Amino acid sequence: MSLLSIVSRAASAGLKEPHRGRLKRMVYHDAGHGYDPFGLHPDAVALGIRITAPLYERYFRVQTHGIENIPAKGPAVIVANHSGTVPTDAMMLWADIVRNSDPPRIPRPVADHFVPMMPVIGTLFARGGMVGGSLGNARVLLENGDMILVFPEGVPGISKHFRDRYHLTDWRVGHVELAIRHGAPVIPVGIVGAEEQMPQIGKLNVKLFGAPFLPITLTPLPLPVRYHILYGPPIPIPELYRPDQADDPGVVREAAARTRAAVEALLQKGLADRKGVFV
């Protein structure tokens, strides 16, 4: 048994209510030994809840708005802005859905290819539900009725310069192509706070442990900004598009512009409503 399995089991045993009860209600596809084919294990989800709890509750003091927009079941694509130099925005969004969605669901973050190549991190994240960023992985999850979590900005988003905060970078279109093909609604999410957590002023093209660059930041660690996670109403992709339109570049671009506008609107609302970066 790996060290990760032992720690995960201990974390699961020590998980308190309401999370213990919620974890039991979460649905996943057990491929026979307690793991799903991608490596997800409920004990590791428990570990994820416990690891992220201090960050979620005390450091970033996450405030969630509109979690009821997460569908109770069926395939869905959650799209959010990506920022902050280190992927704590993804961790907090994952934690927010795991802790608050009703019924409880496990989102499946779709990570860039380099993440599975990172020792320890790649395995830990896979146990919590992450999958590598190939269309094949996302397709299987959606066909199984899972909910995938996509950051269409990708690495350029998380590595954006501080001056570009809250400006969405290139908005990749793969997420809507998948949503159209598999008849999944898209749930837009705006994450406010992460864009200021670790101001990035440059980057070195040094590849370390599979990471695509080495950031130059004003702070060595993320600042204790307050996170606001805003979920918008689902964009009813199956009502707007036919599955065969997934092969039409014009339609896909138009749908992607729709999801981008929805995320931008949530960011603007979040920025307007918050009282400050740290409060």
Q: Please, what is the minimum distance in Å from the beta carbon of residue 28 to other proteins?
A: 13
Measured from the CB atom, is 32 or 220 closer to other proteins?
Answer: 32
Contacts of 275 (CB under 8 A, 6+ apart): none
Helix, strand, or coil here: 115? helix
| Chain residues in the site for other proteins (CB under 8 A) | 1-2, 4-5, 31-33, 35, 37-39, 113-114, 116-120, 122-123, 126, 131-137, 139-140
Q: Between 112 and 264, whose beta carbon lies closer to other proteins?
A: 112
| Residue 231 DSSP SS3 | strand
CB of 10 to other proteins, least distance (A): 16
Considering the complex, state which of residue 100 and residue 123 has its C-beta at the smaller distance from other proteins.
123
Q: From the CB of 19, what's the least distance to other proteins, in Å?
A: 24
- Decide whether 139 or 274 has the Cβ nearer to other proteins: 139
Q: CB of 119: closest distance to other proteins in angstroms?
A: 3
- What is the closest distance, in whole angstroms, from the C-beta atom of residue 23 to other proteins in the complex? 20
The residue (of 183 and 210) whose beta carbon lies closer to other proteins is: 210
